[in-house]
Amino acid sequence: MKDIEGVSMRSRPLVLAFALVGVLLSSAPVFAHHGAVAYDMKKVTTLQGTVSEFRYTNPHSEIYFDVVDANGKTQKWVAEAVSVPAMSRSGWTKNSLKPGDKVSVTGNVAKNGTFTMRFASLTFPDGRKLTYERAEDYAQ
């Protein structure tokens, strides 16, 4: 509990922590049954937030989370994930996330500036990480 508070306090002034990992791909990756043209696949971003809803469903699960910006205003974010079978084979369950969970969410944000993201992974304050196989992770 103390850890959670600690992370929360530390993350507050950071709010938007951008982690530029670099160019992953030069062409559009396979993304389930639709493309990733909306998202900036050249940049990976990590956001500190609080889960508001977890929709564990097909064909794409969705993770809703709140991020407090530098002005103290809450941004309503949603990260698009993949199908239930694909996530369950990587250890996810319907109970993996619950409202109020503090998480660091990593993914590719939309190019148009909306608070939407293509999910890659998330980390809990205790260091536990949830992710899954993404097609482009195997792209060489």
Partner 1 sequence: MRIAALALLVCPAGLLGQASPPAHTSASPDFAGVWRRSRRAPDNKRQYTVAELVQPLGDPPPMTAWGQARFNAAKPNIGPRSVPFAESNDPTTQCLPPGIPRLYTVMLGAPFELLQVPGRIIMFFENNHYVRQIFIDGRPHSDDTGPTYLGDAIGKWEGTTLVVDTVGFNDKTWLDTFGHPHSDALHLVERFQRAKNDVLTDDISINDPKAYTKPWLSHMIFDHEPGWNIQELVCEDNLNFKDLQKLSESHK
Least separation in angstroms between residue 125's CB and partner 1 is 27
In order, the DSSP letters of 42-54 are T--EEEEEEEEEE
Tokens found for residue 23:
């160019």
Of 87, 42, 39, the closest CA to residue 63 belongs to 87
**Contact set for partner 1, span 2-41 (CB under 8 A):** 25-35, 37-39
DSSP-derived secondary structure letter, 63: E
DSSP-derived secondary structure letter, 110: B
Indicate the residue among 62 and 124 with the shorter CB distance to partner 1.
62
CB 79 within 8 A of CB 68: no
Least separation in angstroms between residue 100's CB and partner 1 is 22
Indicate the residue among 34 and 98 with the shorter CB distance to partner 1.
34
89 binds partner 1, rule: CB under 8 A: yes
Side-chain half-sphere exposure of 32, counting CA atoms within 13 A: 17
Indicate the residue among 3 and 133 with the shorter CB distance to partner 1.
133
Q: How far is CA 114 from the centre of its chain?
A: 14
Instruction: Pick one of 11, 46, 104, 116: the residue that binds partner 1 (CB under 8 A).
Output: 116
Q: Using CB under 8 A as the criterion, which residues of the chain lie in contact with partner 1 when the complex forms?
A: 25-35, 37-39, 55, 57-62, 78, 80, 82-86, 88-89, 110, 112-114, 116, 133, 135-136, 138-140
